[in-house]
Structure 1
Amino acid sequence: MSESPALDGLRVLAHPIRLRVLSLLTGVAMSAAEVARELGETQANVSYHLRRLHEAGLLDIVEEVRIRGGLAKRYRHDPESGSWFTSTNPHEEQLLLATMAEELKRRGEFRVPGQRGSTTDTEIWVDRETWEKALEQARELGELLHSAAKPPRTRGTIPVSATVSMFEMRRR
């Protein structure tokens, strides 16, 4: 019996290389070879992850180009494609959150000391209206950053990290 696309999608997302691929392909369409060079991974490994992300509906093939007698697919990520991934399985969501936390630790190693940034962490009680407003602002932040994404090392750009995970908690 096949699992739901949403549940399979959470599993697909719960891999550090795949999170990096999605981030990279938000700003530009790239082939497996180009992604592999950028991430310092093997082309075979990246090809596998690209296929999984494409099968889950998170990557689009935007063009196919002939390279040395072969056909190279160029993939691009539409950030809106992930908005339908949900799960009622706490294990699946925990797996994704753990992967995001590990990726945040990896990115933290590249933080430029002394440069402006923003960090917030909270576990609080708020009214429903405030919560809904905060969710909307987080969605807008994601849209702003994703829509402005450029190819790596584009003149006038800087590499940045943004990880946001907001969720309603059950009462203890």
Structure 2
Amino acid sequence: MSESPSLDGLRVLAHPVRLRILSLLTGAAMSAAEAARELGETQANISYHLRRLHEAGLLDVVEEIRIRGGMAKRYRHDPESGMRFGSKNPQDEQLLAATMAEELKRRSESRAVGPRGSMTDAEMWVDRETWEQALEHARELSRLLHAAARPPRTRGTIPVSATVSMFEMTKP
């Protein structure tokens, strides 16, 4: 029996391989074997993580295909599925943030030299209206990139990284 969706969802997300799987399966539906080849992981490892992500409601089975006499499921990630997860436990959020930070470190090792990009870091006080506008822009950025995601190495595409974490802080 799985845990509650919010708690289980955050814990499931707080694993670097699972973050990579979700990113990969936003652009294309894949089986465990296909995703394992793409990510350079074992099929058994990816299969385990796919099951956990599916149980948490973050992946959909979009088709079943026959391969060498057996059946393989192809999974796809709907980026909107993560919107229902939240936690009142700061440790869960911190675990997810730490995992995202580690994934950002891994991705930054592949940063192309020269091309344009954007980095920002801020801890500041702003009015409520500005904060709400910034959140909506971040959500729109996420929708834009996820809607445009394509399978790896699709002609005319480039690999990109986007990590955004915005949250209201407690007052000191």
TM-score bin, normalised by smaller chain: over 0.9
Number of aligned residues: 172
Percent of matched pairs sharing the same residue: 81
Q: Which residue of 2 aligns with 1:27?
A: 27
Q: Which residue of 2 aligns with 1:38?
A: 38
AA partner of residue 137 (structure 1): H
The 5-angstrom pairing of residues 86-101 of structure 1 reads: 86-101=86-101
Q: Which residue of 1 aligns with 2:169?
A: 169
Q: Which residue of 2 aligns with 1:77?
A: 77
CA RMSD of aligned residues (A): 0.9
Q: Which runs of 4+ in 1 moved over 3 A?
A: none
Instruction: Indicate if the aligned counterparts of 2:2 and 2:8 stay in contact, CA closer than 8 A.
Output: no
The 5-angstrom pairing of residues 1-172 of structure 1 reads: 3-172=3-172
AA partner of residue 90 (structure 2): P
- Unaligned residue ranges in structure 1 (runs of 5+): none
Mark the CA change 1:56 to 1:2 in structure 2 (over 3 Å): closer, same or farther. Answer: closer
Shift, 1:2, TM fit: 6.2
Shift, 1:3, TM fit: 3.5
Shift, 1:156, TM fit: 0.4
- TM-score, normalisation: structure 1: 0.99
- TM-score, normalisation: structure 2: 0.99
AA partner of residue 154 (structure 1): T
Distance 1:147 1:2 in 2: 30
